[in-house]
Amino acid sequence: MIMEEIIEHKRDGLKLTRDEIHFFIENYVSGSIPDYQASALLMAIYLKGMDAEETAILTLEMENSGEIWDLSDIPGLKIDKHSTGGVGDKVSLVLGPMVASCGGKLAKMSGRGLGHTGGTLDKLESIPGFDIYENIHEFKEQIRNVGMAIIGQSSDLDPADKKLYALRDVTATVSCIPLIASSIMSKKLASGSDCILLDVKYGCGAFMKTKEKAHELADLMIDIGKHLGKDVRAEVTDMDQPLGFAVGNNLEVKEAINTLKGHGPKDLFNLCVNSGSIMLTQAKLFKTTEEAKEAILENVKNGKAFEKFVEFVKAQKGDTSYILNPDKFEMAKNIVPIYSDKEGIIKRIDALTIGKCAMKLGGGREVITDVINMSAGIVLNKKIGDKVEKGELLCTLYTNKNEYSEIESETKNAFIF
């Protein structure tokens, strides 16, 4: 088989065969196919697309390019959840304990934040001592005993995605829906879960800017699941404002704690309860989402969901005294209130701007090697639909930086009346 012919076939709009896709992935991972030919094929896919069957085959070949974790010896159906990313998205920290407290088995590999989107691993590592580097044996034992584990992705898992994602990033092919879908799904399938719930976000703070594009991506990933015999479901959710109030690592952990105690923001709480009810029915622990919701709400009320979070943090060597007493978390050196200079009703909060400002305050990375200040970020005081008087508090900035006047102005302008 010749790589030039595979590029020609896709360039001319033809459907790639299983053998052609297998040849490409196997030889690109081994180094036999150079980046310039892989780039040409990625651009051809970007321009000509792939149908559901092609995308499913690409996903399977990427999944099989490295190690695949087998969780079949853990009793029950294992469930995973993936968000396409957003601002203030601390859902995994709340959803995991809710689901595990009801008997679910959450097996999750997560990533780090880059740019305006926060990473679950960074939030967890803001808890002193928390260890995200468990091996497969520790991972499985924790899921058996605790009901949930969240770790970093193994370097041996899905090497095809690592190489292709790095190439997509520099060839303007990141936004190609078949390539996004195969990237997400290959990692999730390789990590061994039986059921996957996808949270596909749209809006100014999300990767997919329109609801229609988010639905297109969600539908394709569900189709991949069907082709590969997995129970994959999806929610399409709004990211036109940050999720919850807190944006920034230990700020979001503190908000997650409040939410598990039933005192968190309504948008975050409701999303977690809805997602959790779907996951518990996927795991066949409840017949209906209504029954599952009742169980989750009861476990928030009786404290079992919060207790599960404490158990989870302890299992991964985190200092639970910070969870039991969140005032122990490090506080930023500079705490800067932002007041409104106008009155009206908030029409929109530009999540992208808020995310970028939180990053500039030290709460995120512009490049993957940047060091995060775990106490930096932004806490909103207002949300869409809220009435605001002149001089009223809009939000508060947290930073160790001494120069932040430009960020103050940018943050204030993110609130559209």
**Residues labelled as active-site residues:** 82, 161, 168, 183, 187
Give, as one character, the DSSP assignment of residue 74: S
Give, as one character, the DSSP assignment of residue 174: T
How is 16-45 classified by DSSP, letter by letter? Answer: PPHHHHHHHHHHHHHT-S-HHHHHHHHHHH
Q: How far apart are CA 10 and CA 40, in angstroms?
A: 10
How is 303-350 classified by DSSP, letter by letter? Answer: THHHHHHHHHHHHTT--THHHH-GGGS---SEEEEEE-SS-EE--EE-
Q: What's CA 412's distance to the chain center, in Å?
A: 27
Q: How far apart are CA 40 and CA 24, in angstroms?
A: 12
C-alpha closest to that of 295 among 308, 276, 313: 276
- Could you tell me which residues are beta bridge partners of residue 334? 399
Q: And the tokens for 227?
A: 């082709």
Q: How far apart are CA 294 and CA 262, in angstroms?
A: 14
Pairing of strands 377-380, 393-399: antiparallel
> Quick one: which H or E segment has residue 270?
helix 266-282
**How many other CB atoms are there within 10 angstroms of residue 250's CB atom?**
28
Q: How far apart are CA 388 and CA 57, in angstroms?
A: 52
